[in-house]
Chain A
Amino acid sequence: MEPLRRPLSPCSSRPSSPRSPPCETSVSVGIEAVLDQLKIKAMKMGFEFNIMVVGQSGLGKSTMVNTLFKSKVWKSSLPGLATPTPQTLQLHSVTHVIEEKGVKLKLTVTDTPGFGDQINNDKCWDPILGYINEQYERYLQEEILITRQRHIPDTRVHCCVYFVPPTGHCLRPLDIEFLQRLCRTVNVVPVIARADSLTIEEREAFRSRIQEDLRNHCIDVYPQKCFDEDINDRILNSKIRERIPFAVVGADREHLVNGRCVLGRKTKWGIVEVENMAHCEFPLLRDLLIRSHLQDLKDITHNVHYENYRVVRLNESHLLPRGPGWVNLAPASTQQLTTPAPLKVRRRVQEDPKDEF
Chain B
Amino acid sequence: MAVSEESQHLLFHSHVAFRTASMPSEVCEVEERKRENIRSLSMCGHVGFESLPDQLVNRSIQQGFCFNILCVGETGIGKSTLINTLFNTNFEEHEASHFCPNVRLRAQTYELQESNVRLKLTIVNTVGFGDQINKEESYQPIVDYIDAQFEAYLQEELKIKRSLFNYHDSRIHVCLYFIAPTGHSLKTLDLLTMKNLDSKVNIIPVIAKADTISSELQKFKIKLMSELVCNGVQIYQFPTDDDTIAKINAAMNEQLPFAVVGSMDEVKVGNKMVKARQYPWGIVQVENENHCDFVKLREMLICTNMEDLQEQTHIRHYELYRRCKLEEMGFTDVGPENKPVSVQETYEAKRHELHGERQRKEEEMKQMFVQRVKEKEAILKEAERELQAKFEHLKRVHQEERLKLEERRRALEEEMIHFSKRKSSCDIFLNQSFMASGSNIKKDKDRKNPNFM
* Chain A contacts to B: CB under 8 angstroms: 1-2, 4-6, 8, 10-18, 20-35, 37-44, 47, 68-75, 82-84, 86-87, 90, 92-103, 105-108, 110, 141, 144-148, 150, 153, 155, 229-230, 263, 286-287, 290-296, 299, 303, 307, 310-311, 314-315, 317-318, 340-341, 343, 345-346, 349-350, 352-354, 356-357
Q: Is B65 an interface residue (CB 8 A)?
A: yes
Q: Which of A18, A34, A84, A144 interacts with B108 by CB under 8 Å?
A: A18
Q: A4-B116, A30-B303, A87-B5 are in contact. Are A47 and B52 (CB under 8 A)?
A: yes
* Chain A residues in 8 Å Cβ range of B362: 353
Is A100 within 8 A of B353, CB to CB?
no
Bound-complex Cα distance A310 to B343 (A): 14
Is A340 within 8 A of B113, CB to CB?
no
Is B55 within 8 A of A292, CB to CB?
yes
Bound-complex Cα distance A18 to B108 (A): 7
Name the distance in Å between A354's Cβ and chain B's nearest Cβ: 8
Q: Mark B144-179, 1 if CB is under 8 A from A, else 0.
A: 000001001000000011101100101000000000
Q: A294-B52, A295-B52 are in contact. Are A8 and B43 (CB under 8 A)?
A: no
Is A8 within 8 A of B9, CB to CB?
no
* Chain B residues in 8 Å Cβ range of A295: 52, 55-56, 58-59
* Chain B residues in 8 Å Cβ range of A23: 89, 110-113
Q: A24-B113, A94-B22 are in contact. Are A35 and B57 (CB under 8 A)?
A: yes
Q: Mark B51-63, 1 if CB is under 8 A from A, else 0.
A: 1110111111110
Q: Which of A11, A43, A97, A318 interacts with B53 by CB under 8 Å?
A: A43
Stretch at the interface among B127-135, B306-314, B439-447: B306-314
* Chain A residues in 8 Å Cβ range of B5: 84, 87
Is B12 within 8 A of A82, CB to CB?
yes
* Chain A residues in 8 Å Cβ range of B108: 15-18
Q: Which of A31, A40, A291 has the most CB of B within 10 A?
A: A31
* Chain B residues in 8 Å Cβ range of A43: 53
Bound-complex Cα distance A43 to B52 (A): 9
* Chain A residues in 8 Å Cβ range of B29: 153
A94 to chain B: closest residue by CB: B22
Is A33 within 8 A of B303, CB to CB?
yes
Bound-complex Cα distance A296 to B359 (A): 46
Stretch at the interface among B323-331, B375-383, B390-398, B420-428: B323-331
Name the distance in Å between A22's Cβ and chain B's nearest Cβ: 4
Is A146 within 8 A of B49, CB to CB?
no
Q: A98-B43, A103-B50 are in contact. Are A32 and B36 (CB under 8 A)?
A: no
19 contacts between A and B (CB under 8 A): A4-B113, A14-B168, A15-B107, A29-B87, A32-B115, A32-B117, A33-B304, A35-B61, A35-B117, A44-B242, A84-B12, A92-B24, A97-B41, A98-B43, A103-B53, A146-B322, A303-B165, A307-B161, A343-B348
Q: Which of A97, A141, A299 interacts with B36 by CB under 8 Å?
A: A97
A39 to chain B: closest residue by CB: B53
Is A349 within 8 A of B353, CB to CB?
yes
* Chain A residues in 8 Å Cβ range of B65: 31, 34
Bound-complex Cα distance A25 to B299 (A): 16
* Chain B residues in 8 Å Cβ range of A145: 333, 343
Bound-complex Cα distance A21 to B56 (A): 27
Q: Is B25 an interface residue (CB 8 A)?
A: yes
* Chain B contacts to A: CB under 8 angstroms: 5, 8-9, 12-13, 16, 19-20, 22-25, 29, 32, 36-37, 40-53, 55-62, 65, 86-89, 92, 107-120, 122, 124, 149, 152, 160-162, 164-165, 168, 170, 242, 244-245, 298-299, 302-308, 311, 315, 319, 322-323, 326-327, 331-333, 342-345, 347-349, 351-353, 355-356, 359-360, 362-363, 367
Bound-complex Cα distance A93 to B36 (A): 14
Is A349 within 8 A of B352, CB to CB?
yes
B149 to chain A: closest residue by CB: A14
Q: Which of A15, A30, A68, A86 interacts with B109 by CB under 8 Å?
A: A15
Name the distance in Å between B339's Cβ and chain A's nearest Cβ: 9
* Chain B residues in 8 Å Cβ range of A5: 113
Name the distance in Å between B177's Cβ and chain A's nearest Cβ: 20
* Chain A residues in 8 Å Cβ range of B50: 100-103
Q: A34-B306, A39-B53, A100-B46 are in contact. Are A29 and B24 (CB under 8 A)?
A: no
* Chain A residues in 8 Å Cβ range of B165: 299, 303
- What 5 new A-B contacts, CB under 8 Å, besides A4-B116, A16-B109? A10-B111, A14-B149, A96-B22, A340-B344, A352-B356
Q: Which of B43, B53, B107 interacts with A16 by CB under 8 Å?
A: B107
Name the distance in Å between B319's Cβ and chain A's nearest Cβ: 6
Bound-complex Cα distance A240 to B4 (A): 48
Q: Which of A11, A13, A21, A141 has the most CB of B within 10 A?
A: A11
Q: A14-B170, A32-B115, A146-B327 are in contact. Are A38 and B60 (CB under 8 A)?
A: yes
B112 to chain A: closest residue by CB: A23
Is B49 within 8 A of A25, CB to CB?
no
The 6 closest A-B CB pairs, nearest first, are A15-B107, A17-B109, A353-B359, A295-B55, A37-B307, A30-B303
Bound-complex Cα distance A355 to B104 (A): 50
Is B344 within 8 A of A75, CB to CB?
no
* Chain B residues in 8 Å Cβ range of A4: 113, 115-116
Q: A15-B108, A43-B53, A84-B8 are in contact. Are A106 and B87 (CB under 8 A)?
A: no
* Chain A residues in 8 Å Cβ range of B87: 25, 29
A28 to chain B: closest residue by CB: B114
Is B113 within 8 A of A69, CB to CB?
no
Bound-complex Cα distance A287 to B48 (A): 8
Bound-complex Cα distance A119 to B319 (A): 52
Is B356 within 8 A of A349, CB to CB?
yes
Bound-complex Cα distance A140 to B37 (A): 27
* Chain B residues in 8 Å Cβ range of A141: 342
* Chain A residues in 8 Å Cβ range of B16: 75
Q: Which of A16, A32, A349 interacts with B114 by CB under 8 Å?
A: A32
* Chain B residues in 8 Å Cβ range of A33: 302-304, 306
B298 to chain A: closest residue by CB: A30
Q: A41-B307, A103-B49 are in contact. Are A31 and B32 (CB under 8 A)?
A: no
* Chain A residues in 8 Å Cβ range of B55: 292-296
* Chain A residues in 8 Å Cβ range of B352: 318, 345-346, 349-350
A153 to chain B: closest residue by CB: B29
Name the distance in Å between A252's Cβ and chain B's nearest Cβ: 9
Q: Which of B244, B307, B342 has the most CB of A within 10 A?
A: B307
A299 to chain B: closest residue by CB: B59
* Chain A residues in 8 Å Cβ range of B58: 295
Bound-complex Cα distance A353 to B245 (A): 62
Bound-complex Cα distance A299 to B55 (A): 11
